[in-house]
Structure 1
Amino acid sequence: MRECERTSTAPEGEDSRLREEVEDWEEKGVPNFVYRQKELLEGIQWPRTAPSLLDRTPRSRFDSALCAAWRQRMELGLFRYRLGELQTQTLPGVVGFVAQLNVERGVQRRRPQNIWSVRQAFDPEQFNFNKIRPGEVLFRLLREPDLPGALQQEDILVMINVSPLEWGHVLLVPEPTQGLPQRLLPAALRAGVEAVLLSSHPGFRVGFNSLGGLASVNHLHLHGYYLAHRLPVEGAPSEPLDPGGRLHLLQALPAPGFLFYTSGPGPDLEALIGRVCRATDYLTDHEIAHNLFVTRGAPPGKTSPSSALTGIRVILWARKSSFGVKEGEAFNVALCELAGHLPIKTSQDFDSLTEAAALALIRDCLLPPAQAEEVQAALVALIAQDEQ
């Protein structure tokens, strides 16, 4: 059913072989996954068949490497829980929320760090990705220069999220020893967007939570994971906010957000990365929490859920700051919830949650209208500077 298909527990003897493999990797160092621009895939679409048949579609080299290594770590028991088949349903209503029951993540995930500011400095004494077990790292993601003399892109460590949302849930972490705080940087965003383009699965998405936007670790990282379902933000309609069409407002439910779009790799992608990071810099500098989601999607305008996924959508939401996980709620609002994917903590909530209740939880996390208008005006002004 998934791009990373499930397997049974490793048989006796197989477990020791897998451990020897990881020990060998630890001894030799982290393996490299080197890719070239020609591997960035355009035109990936949802198949006409049901999502349960996605595992029959051809995998890219990136998907194969990620899924094979991720599955090995699951068999070795390096996660906090063994992820089984997640109960999934689409909530009745106009939005099309994809709800999944993930009790173990709600109970066993690491408690969030003590965070009090969107601009908080990195603290080496708190948990960070320099303190993980070596076996949690899958590979180093490296882009090979395509032109003689071109600078090589900064490498990114791809590691398992030990409390996974779904199969294939990984973290993209720029060199951890740099001690970067959870503030989005162009090199990290570029790696996230290109990871989506490296996948032949239309449901591989990447996202970022700022401090105050439910990031639980103050060490720069993005999330990537597979979800074999369409999400509302892929084809939601939008309207331009600037004459050049560089920034759009995604008005549809589940939450209004700022839409940046590119048709694929090349100069337009580099320009998009710069615009997005200038926007997140503004939000961070003004102590405004935010979430970001990268997915294959339709061009801006009057689109629909059935629209072709012709490019990459990057959606940015400014929101109220929320420090720590709120207990007793069906879900916590971060990058995937704003995109329409709801990981639910309890069976009772999974059985009883309605679209209206989900929207109420999400609206409670959004900026009040007056502040939202101020942020929109500021971002439009930033984009206007690009045009000058």
Structure 2
Amino acid sequence: MSIVQDSGSEVARYDYTEDDFVLHTAPWADGQPSQLSPFDKELHKRWDAAMAAGAFRYGIDHILTRIIPGSKGYVGQLNTLRATERRKPQEISSVSQPFNPKAFNFTWIKPGEVIFDLHNTTDGPLKNGDASAAGEAGHVSDGAVTNGHAQTTEAAQVSANGVEHSAEGKKSAVHRLVINVSPMEYGHCLLVPDVFGERPQVLTLTALKVAIETLLLCKHRGVRVGMNSLCAFASVNHLHFHFFYLDYELIADYCPVDHLAGDYYEFTSLPCPGFVMQLHGTTVEGLARSAHKISSYLHENDIAHNLFMCRGVAFGEKRDSTLTTIRLFIWPRKKFIAHLEGNKSSEEFNVACIELGGHLPIKEEAGYYNLTEEDVDKIIETACLSEEHYQEIKATVIKMGQEVSNAS
């Protein structure tokens, strides 16, 4: 395994191409253990090594799991240490709050917390044709860290810290995977696109592409990727996604959806409705652009939102279908501003990206053992926008889909 030097520390780089993408995973209904790709195996090895080295604030052996009875199959997990030991969330007061280099951000983390940097070496635009499930294994190699999406004609130079510069001296983006030192579950990492770009917690097109590609590198069907905007329980104002493994099926993996227009569908199986798209029938670029249109609209209109990605059955397929794909959800929601009176989170769990998908990291024992499906529904409902406001947003999303359909 080769490594590169970055900012004076040893940082491995995971090279991959679109041939490494796993387009389909086995359905949960097959009852077999989840399979692992070379990427999964490499990540697991490094995450385990960080745990053995004491890089985390706590282990995960204490986590208990309970499927809450009911039609939604909420997956409740008791994780009291995350509730007490995690870093104090930053004070967030606006969806558009600027990045603050003097506040904690992911350039501050210790070398032992880095898993590796991600480097797409594919030449040309990314495509999602009808290729087989997996190609050649990705690998870790020497060389400069570059942005797999950039198309650069100028000669590149490599500085002493391993970061590639263009001939004009501009740094290429570095997409980094780091451990979450207060883990929710096994393999819990933070994916930080353009880690040195000083970007606030606002989705970019490139960040969405990188997140989709990272999920496509996994063969484990229980990989979850989530993002909370500012005022939607983001605790650090530095662009990042949560990434972790959950070996339980969620309602988001199979729930029916209603078509709105174009690539956009609506998700109404949980109390807070939202919008959902899928990779099936489009490309990485296409899915990222569709999601970015919604997230940009929400950001520009000061609307807090959560994003969640998972493996699941293609829209319209039965729960046990072998036609699986990536599902991408976006929920507009009420702002949560912790320091304002009346903005108190529930004692049982916060309503953020993964909770809206059906996974509940529960803070205390009473809630874990006593919560019913009705209780959970009521807590999730607290994040819902007014019906009038949601319908205004929905009308805009339908118009977006119609415009794309008409243009094609």
- Give the alignment's TM-score, normalised by structure 1: 0.86
Task: Name 2:115's counterpart in structure 1.
Answer: 138
Task: Name 1:35's counterpart in structure 2.
Answer: 16
**Deviation at residue 230 of structure 1 after TM alignment:** 0.5
Task: Name 2:264's counterpart in structure 1.
Answer: 247
Task: Name 2:285's counterpart in structure 1.
Answer: 270
The whole-number CA distance in structure 1 between the counterparts of 2:352 and 2:318 is 24
Report the CA distance shift for 1:251/1:283 in structure 2 as closer, same or farther (over 3 A). Answer: same
1:169 to 171, 184, 188: 188
Task: Name 2:396's counterpart in structure 1.
Answer: 378
User: What are the residue-to-residue correspondences of 1:181-330 with 2, within 5 Å?
Assistant: 181-242=200-261, 244=262, 246-263=263-280, 268-301=283-316, 303-324=317-338, 326=344, 329-330=347-348
**Residue identity in the other structure for 1:337:** E
Deviations 1:243-298 (A, max 9, x none): x3x1011121253210111227xx63211211111110100111100001111122
**Residue identity in the other structure for 1:195:** T
- Secondary structure of residue in 2 paired with 1:177: coil
Alignment length (residue pairs): 357
Give the alignment's Cα RMSD to 1 decimal. 2.3
**Deviation at residue 199 of structure 1 after TM alignment:** 0.7
The whole-number CA distance in structure 1 between the counterparts of 2:90 and 2:326 is 32
Task: Name 1:45's counterpart in structure 2.
Answer: 26
Task: Name 1:333's counterpart in structure 2.
Answer: 351
Deviations 1:11-57 (A, max 9, x none): xxxxxxxxxx99x998563110001111101221135565xx63xx5
1:78 equivalent in alignment to 2:55: yes
Tell whether the 8 Å contact from 1:102 to 1:345 is kept in structure 2 after alignment.
yes
The whole-number CA distance in structure 1 between the counterparts of 2:96 and 2:404 is 25
Task: Name 2:88's counterpart in structure 1.
Answer: 111
Tell whether the 8 Å contact from 1:86 to 1:102 is kept in structure 2 after alignment.
yes
Tell whether the 8 Å contact from 1:139 to 1:159 is kept in structure 2 after alignment.
yes
Tell whether the 8 Å contact from 1:143 to 1:155 is kept in structure 2 after alignment.
no
**Deviation at residue 386 of structure 1 after TM alignment:** 2.4
Report the CA distance shift for 1:180/1:147 in structure 2 as closer, same or farther (over 3 A). Answer: closer
Report the CA distance shift for 1:47/1:272 in structure 2 as closer, same or farther (over 3 A). Answer: closer
The whole-number CA distance in structure 2 between the counterparts of 1:49 and 1:87 is 24
Deviations 1:146-171 (A, max 9, x none): 359x9833541000011111010001
**Residue identity in the other structure for 1:178:** G
Tell whether the 8 Å contact from 2:29 to 2:320 is kept in structure 1 after alignment.
no
**Residue identity in the other structure for 2:362:** I
- Secondary structure of residue in 2 paired with 1:383: helix
Tell whether the 8 Å contact from 1:248 to 1:300 is kept in structure 2 after alignment.
no
More helix by share: 1
Report the CA distance shift for 1:345/1:28 in structure 2 as closer, same or farther (over 3 A). Answer: closer
1:152 to 143, 148, 152: 148
Tell whether the 8 Å contact from 1:236 to 1:304 is kept in structure 2 after alignment.
no
**Residue identity in the other structure for 2:302:** E
**Deviation at residue 300 of structure 1 after TM alignment:** 2.2
1:346 to 364, 368, 388: 364
Tell whether the 8 Å contact from 2:114 to 2:177 is kept in structure 1 after alignment.
yes
Unaligned 5+ segments in structure 1 are: 1-20
Unaligned 5+ segments in structure 2 are: 128-146, 150-172
**Residue identity in the other structure for 1:196:** L
